[in-house]
Amino acid sequence: MKAVILAAGEGTRMRPLTATRPKAMLPVANRPILEHIIKSARDGGVNDFICVVGYRNGVVRDYFGDGGHLGIHIDYVEQKQQLGTAHAIGTVQDLVDDRFIVMNGDALVRSSDIRSLMKRDGEVLMALKMMKDPGKYGVVKTSGERIAEIIEKPMRATSNLVNAGIYLFSDLIFEGIKATERSERGEYEITDSIMRLASDNVDVGYLMLDTWIDIGMPWNLLDANEFLLSGIRTEISGEIEPYATLKGEVVVGDDTIIRNGSYITGPAIIGNGCDIGPNCYIRPGTSVGDDVRIGNAVEIKNSIIMEKTHVGHLSYLGDSVIGYGCNFGAGTKVANLRHDGRNIRVVMEGGSIDTGRRKLGVIMGDCVHTGINTSINVGVMMAARRSTRPGEVVMG
């Protein structure tokens, strides 16, 4: 059975992190989201993949190639215009067999759930997840063992079940896609195609997922990172100097040096070619990409730091996502907790958004440089290639 992975979109809500890469290629636990999804499906029994690509598709193709290094085969289909999920799935009609899986390229799921999905019968099967805040998703109503209704982001949810964006289809779905009209958002939605088939008395079944980590907003990368790090085991390939301390599950990559006085508490991953310390403190939930420099007396907590970033001495950052090639001037401090303890809100296109997190630092695009003693407020989004002056306070 083949798996189709939808990875064509930029992920506009993930800006500024997607300025140079598609959303599916953002790293968590030092690997692109898409790689984690592919490996999960592979371990669930899928060896043949079709990636629907679009925005900056060369990044995906260059990284994965034909998939041979992962023990799988990957074909690519370019969705030149992002006209919705039904349109994207329609592009693969000539490449799939009579039954195939579809997965979104921005959500993590366990291989056991993929295995369970593949064992099910039926023309159309949708994966569901119970959520406390379903209104942000497509809310699903069921009747017995069938899907009765799908409502996209309702003002008031009448069910806690949401569409997880994972499906098992027969080739009958292409008839539903051909009959699908544009939605109010101007897109061809696969949920409309599914309900079109349901109205023609096609049974639409469902499967409840055990685990589903949706990565819809930049701060969701931290949730995904925490989930993936919880499963790592200690592996030391680099050099640990005599007076450095590693506690818990910590991965240290090739050609990395952990200098004396450094204290790393897992779960944490340090990539290849890194220079860490001396006398720095890396706390749980942190992923450090390749060729990163972390200087003296730096503290980092629950953060993602992408490749080739330098964090200068006497700096602090917590609950943050830091892009590629950034440089923190000495003494840069990132706030991650409001004085009143309330959830942190972030200003994005469309207004202020409640992140649902009590702790959130900065979301920093690629190649940002901060001047010495820069202070960055909670929930700040910093555009790629921005710089700050020495002593500057960044409020928003």
- Helix, strand or coil, per DSSP, at residue 151: strand
Residues 6+ apart with CB under 8 A from 201: none
The token pair at 55 is: 């925005």
How far apart are the C-alpha atoms of 252 and 271, rounded to whole Å? 6
Say how many C-beta atoms besides its own lie within 10 A of residue 13's C-beta.
16
Among all residues, which ones are annotated catalytic? 313
How far apart are the C-alpha atoms of 83 and 89, rounded to whole Å? 11
| DSSP annotation of 177 | H
Residue with tokens 């710089």: 387
Residues 6+ apart with CB under 8 A from 308: 289, 290, 291, 292, 324, 325
> Which amino acid belongs to residue 188?
Y
Question: CA dihedral in degrees (14, 19, 21, 26; nearest 10)?
Answer: -40
Residues 6+ apart with CB under 8 A from 64: 34, 35, 38, 51, 70, 74
Task: Select from 133, 113, 302 the least CA-distant residue to 224.
Answer: 302
Task: Select from 35, 21, 26, 30 the least CA-distant residue to 288.
Answer: 30
Residues 6+ apart with CB under 8 A from 75: 49, 50, 51, 95
